[in-house]
Amino acid sequence: MIFFYYFIFPGFLATFILGGFASWIERKVTARIQARVGPPLLQPFYDVRKLFIKEVTIPQNSARTVFMLAPIISFASITIVATIVGLNIVNPSYGFNGDLIVCVYLLLIPSLCLILGSGSAGNPLSSIGSSREMKLVLSYELAFWACLAVPIIKTQELKLANLMEFQAQNGAIAGSLSGIIAFIVLIFCMQAKLGRVPFDMPEAETELAGGVYIEYSGPLLGFFKIGQYMMLIVLPIFILEIFWGPMNSWISILKYLLLLVIIVLVENTNPRLKIDQAVKFFWFGLFPIAVVSIILGVLGL
């Protein structure tokens, strides 16, 4: 029963509320940069409420089961990660060996659901978005996994609680040469996982009119929207737990806000990349740098 409560809070409820406010900060800062006023504080929650009171429209040529299940499974996987990450903040004793690997796999599921859901919609623009999402995942996941190898090598741990405890006693992994290199590479991977500019080519509203989301409406789109809010909290905190130690003090808030500022700055200072440019950037740019960080980690640097 206690795990059910944790699934609700901090799993879903806290992550959704904080993610909504983080999304508001992102939209408000973006609006100010573009000389606009921006939305009111509760606008992200108004958007979700509006979607859940609308009807669901299922495309006639779609694979109905896959189309409808994709956003629900995506939401569920993000909620499970939020529960694991949250438990390691409020009560680390509930962690388990290998929870780091479990989180990494679960963080991949939303992208796979987006690929399957949009690919099953029967819309050409949606299919193009699905193709782009697939190529993007194949490009950044390689660098993402390579970077995660650094803290594992340095601590010999696969448990998030033990990783944070190691850093509490020995200093942040991001404070080492190999750690800071891997951390910087992970920031770019995080931007791609979140689907933010310059890696928003699967959605590309100006080109594909929403791409992967074009056929989704009502509560189904609402589940994807909630997942986006939650990912804006879960993914940065997951990375911070691995590379920057315990997240149980007011300094942790500043750490998160730093990553949120980086997300917003990168989003508002770069144009959207083409999908082939993104693949080359991750495969031939960031992945070799991640390999260098692994070598430095093996050498103890």
Q: What is the pLDDT of residues 117-165, one digit of tens each?
A: 999 998 999 999 999 999 999 999 999 999 999 999 999 999 999 999 9
pLDDT given for residue 186 in this prediction = 96
| pLDDT at position 93 | 76
SS3 state at 98: coil
The tally of domains found in the chain comes to 1
Residue 48 zone, left/alpha/beta (φ > 0; ψ -120 to 50; rest): alpha
Give the chain's residues under pLDDT 70.
1-5
Contact between 20 and 99 under an 8 Å Cβ cutoff? The reply is: no
Task: Report the distance separating Cα 229 and Cα 79, nearest Å.
Answer: 11
Would you state the pLDDT for residue 2?
59
Q: Which residues contact 8 (CB under 8 A, 6 or more apart)?
A: none
- Structure confidence at residue 3 (pLDDT): 60
pTM (two decimals): 0.94
Cα separation, 257 vs 266, whole angstroms: 14
Which residues form the domain of 204?
2-298
